[in-house]
Amino acid sequence: MKLQANSLHIERSGKQVLNGITFSVDAGQVYALLGGNGAGKSTTLLSFLGFLTPQSGQAQINGKNVSEDIRSARKAIAYLPESASLYEHLNPRENIDYFLQLARNPASQAQIDTALDQVGLAPEARHRVLRGYSKGMRQKVAIALAILRDTDILLLDEPTSGLDPNAIDELHQVVRKLADGGKSILMVTHDVYGACHVADKIGLLHNGTLVGEFSAEGNESIDTEIVHRAFSSNTRLSSQQSA
């Protein structure tokens, strides 16, 4: 397994946020961690990045406990936050070149253009500064940067948040293509339909507990109606308990 959570328990500010969750992501697989606000999705990502230490259990990257070797874990993954911090006054090539230089992982202009081709950023947009970009175009630049980090594992935090339907479809195509090329992708989202469309497996997270897993069968996508019913049922139950 490229990425694995083993009975992961995490507390934040004295409150149990993750309650023993277990799941794994293989090479060439998109795993969508689906849940509403406060479900524990971002906490899960932070544990794989080494920013949170579990009270028990392990977050593992390539079979190694993240807490025991944070530097190796971070070198093995590329992380795309919900809103990537890119420089408004630079164009995409300049942004990517700058951040790769900081990471001591430089790339040629040809390699940068190849990555921008992979994410579908139009050639005529590449000389323009990011100030005039849509959020979908910015996400493409950020994913191209993640590709050039040349890691086997990608962590995506609500990658389609705030995007229009066309941009969402384009981003899902990019994610699917990367997984088909052998990348392991963990994506956290609250978008049921998007998760079913792009993921090989979905883990439904509710109040820090993994309450269900759903897998694609063959070439078929995961059944949206089944996942939506489970998602709605847990959301409704949570609302009743807090009323």
Q: Tell me the per-residue pLDDT of 48-63, one tens digit each, with 9 for 90 and over.
A: 999 999 999 999 999 9
Distance CA 100, CA 104 (A): 6
Q: pLDDT-based confidence at 163, cuts 50/70/90?
A: confident
What does the pLDDT read at residue 114? 94
- Residue 77 · residue 49 · CB < 8 Å: yes
What does the pLDDT read at residue 120? 87
Give the tokens for residue 30.
């998109």
According to DSSP, the residues that pair with 30 across neighbouring strands are 185
Q: Kindly report, residue by residue over 184-235, the tens digit of the pLDDT.
A: 999 999 899 999 999 999 999 999 999 999 999 888 899 999 999 999 887 6
Nearest alpha-carbon partner for 58 in 8, 16, 2: 8
Nearest alpha-carbon partner for 65 in 6, 9, 12, 23: 6
Q: pLDDT-based confidence at 239, cuts 50/70/90?
A: very low
What does the pLDDT read at residue 49? 94
Does the structure show a pLDDT above 80 at 73?
Answer: yes
Does the structure show a pLDDT above 60 at 11?
Answer: yes
Does the structure show a pLDDT above 70 at 242?
Answer: no
Q: Give the 3-state secondary structure of residue 156.
A: strand
What does the pLDDT read at residue 218? 80
What does the pLDDT read at residue 141? 93
Cα dihedral across residues 204, 207, 209, 212: positive or negative: negative
Give the tokens for residue 125.
């947009």
What does the pLDDT read at residue 149? 86
What does the pLDDT read at residue 243? 41
Compute the mean pLDDT over every residue in the chain, rounded to the nearest whole number. Answer: 90
Distance CA 62, CA 153 (A): 9
Does the structure show a pLDDT above 70 at 241?
Answer: no
Distance CA 155, CA 77 (A): 7
- Residue 48 · residue 203 · CB < 8 Å: no
Q: pLDDT-based confidence at 118, cuts 50/70/90?
A: confident
- The CATH fold assigned to 3-83+152-242 is Rossmann fold (3.40.50)
- On the CB side of 72, how many CA atoms lie within 13 Å of its CA? 11
Burial class for 199, CB neighbours closer than 10 Å (0-12, 13-18, 19+): buried
Does the structure show a pLDDT above 50 at 121?
Answer: yes
What does the pLDDT read at residue 160? 85
How large is the angle between the packed helices 135-148 and 92-102, nearest 10 degrees?
Answer: 40
Does the structure show a pLDDT above 90 at 104?
Answer: no
Nearest alpha-carbon partner for 19 in 211, 231, 227: 211
- The ranges assigned to domains in the chain are 3-83+152-242
Q: What is the percent of the chain with per-residue pLDDT over 70, rounded to a whole number?
A: 96
